[in-house]
Structure 1
Amino acid sequence: MNKKEIKGIIEGILYIWGDPLSVSSLKEILEIDKNDIKNIMNEMIIEFNSNDRGLQIVKIKDGYQLATRPIHYEYIKKLIPKKSNKGLSNAALESLSIISYKQPITRVEIENIRGVKSDKSITTLIEKGLVEEQGRLDRTGKPIIYGTTDNFLKHFGFKDINELPKLKDEDLEENNTD
């Protein structure tokens, strides 16, 4: 297979799959070296961007996904039926912020930071696929620990959790080390 054929296959696979597809999965499908796949993906990202195409390839963690460009949102949203699916409440947003910055974290730790019960907001975040249970701590009561999902990264446009904006308190701590 030549590189042009491989790019065509990858484009078709990403289109059909819909979700991020890992380099390992692409390696298994295409039966070529991971480094070759990474190089081809980087080339494809550049090609999609330089040709002002309606679609782009976005990197999410170690995977790639075909997506529409945000600048076309106003046009695309006209095709999508309006949902009564409302956004997140302030309580859910607070909990999501705490989880995203402090993960892995327990419900009790979230409640200690917020100062109020957080059961309902955590349940909402799980139902929306933004947060997931990531296991249990090995201590009394075996509390569940929570963390964000790949859907969280996708929804907010992050490649990985390290792209979260720095908190002001962290910036102040860094300034105190001078």
Structure 2
Amino acid sequence: MPKLASVIEAILYLKGRPLTISSIAEYAGCERDMAEEGLIELMDEYAHREGALEIVEIDEGYCLQLKSGFHHLVDTLIPLDLGVGALRTLAAIALRGPMAQIDLVDLRGSGAYQHVQELVRLGFVRKRRQADGRSFWLQVTNKFHQHFEIDQLPTIPQKAVEPSSIEANNVEETGISGSDEDENSISEKTTTTTSVEIPP
């Protein structure tokens, strides 16, 4: 019978999304404390490997993911395949951002939660916790502008927010490493402006 750490590795690989300790324990058929010990052992093993994968903890739980040093291969080997719903959610964030996730859900429905998770994973959206911890600020990244060759977006007026509430020092940021680089650091800026329409 395989050791628990290997079972947890298989679970994270097969589920393909972040899992909480409780979920891991349920799938592995063991107690929570045993799952936690197995996960710690697995994370320690990965920390000493010179491979392309790693086990990390994010807001949603623990996941098996590609190390940041290999992210450039994603664009080369995996073509972008976003559904219509995710594209519309991305357009809403692009035109209204930075916007609160709760406002996005009001606009796009509960399916926006899954869209945001996918867009953050792809590096098109930054997700930063608000200072009061009640929601997240969402904003498109430089990767979005580069990928879609958009230099400047039209803006939609929205309720003003306190600048201090979205400062990086007051929020917890999640997403793909390197996606929040300053636009001035991009060596080649695109000049094509693409109009994006938000559906009703």
Give the TM-score normalised by structure 1.
0.53
Match in the other structure for 1:19 = 17
Q: 1:36 to 1:99 in 2, by over 3 A?
A: same
Match in the other structure for 1:79 = 77
Q: 1:169 to 1:158 in 2, by over 3 A?
A: closer
Match in the other structure for 1:10 = 8
Match in the other structure for 1:50 = 48
Tell me, in whole angstroms, the C-alpha distance in 1 between the residues paired with 2:34 and 2:126: 26
Q: Percent identity?
A: 20
Structure 2 residue runs of 5 or longer lacking an equivalent are 138-161, 168-200
Q: 1:104 to 1:157 in 2, by over 3 A?
A: closer
1:57–1:66: 8 Å Cα contact kept in structure 2? Answer: yes
Structure 1 residue runs of 5 or longer lacking an equivalent are 108-118, 131-149, 173-178
Tell me, in whole angstroms, the C-alpha distance in 2 between the residues paired with 1:8 and 1:127: 30
Tell me, in whole angstroms, the C-alpha distance in 2 between the residues paired with 1:157 and 1:7: 31
Q: 1:50 to 1:35 in 2, by over 3 A?
A: same
Q: 1:80 to 1:30 in 2, by over 3 A?
A: closer
Alpha-carbon deviation of 1:55?
0.8
Alignment of 1:20-35 (within 5 A): 20-35=18-33
Between 150-159 and 20-29, the greater mean CA deviation after superposition = 150-159
The one-character-per-residue Cα deviations of 1:36-90 (angstroms, maximum 9, x if unpaired) are 212321332232123232111122335322111121012343211355887944x
Match in the other structure for 2:94 = 93
Give the TM-score normalised by structure 2.
0.48
Match in the other structure for 1:116 = none
Give the AA of the match of 2:98. S
Matched, 1:169 2:169: no
Q: 1:39 to 1:78 in 2, by over 3 A?
A: same
Alpha-carbon deviation of 1:168?
4.6
Tell me, in whole angstroms, the C-alpha distance in 2 between the residues paired with 1:32 and 1:84: 36
Q: 1:24 to 1:53 in 2, by over 3 A?
A: same
RMSD: 4.2
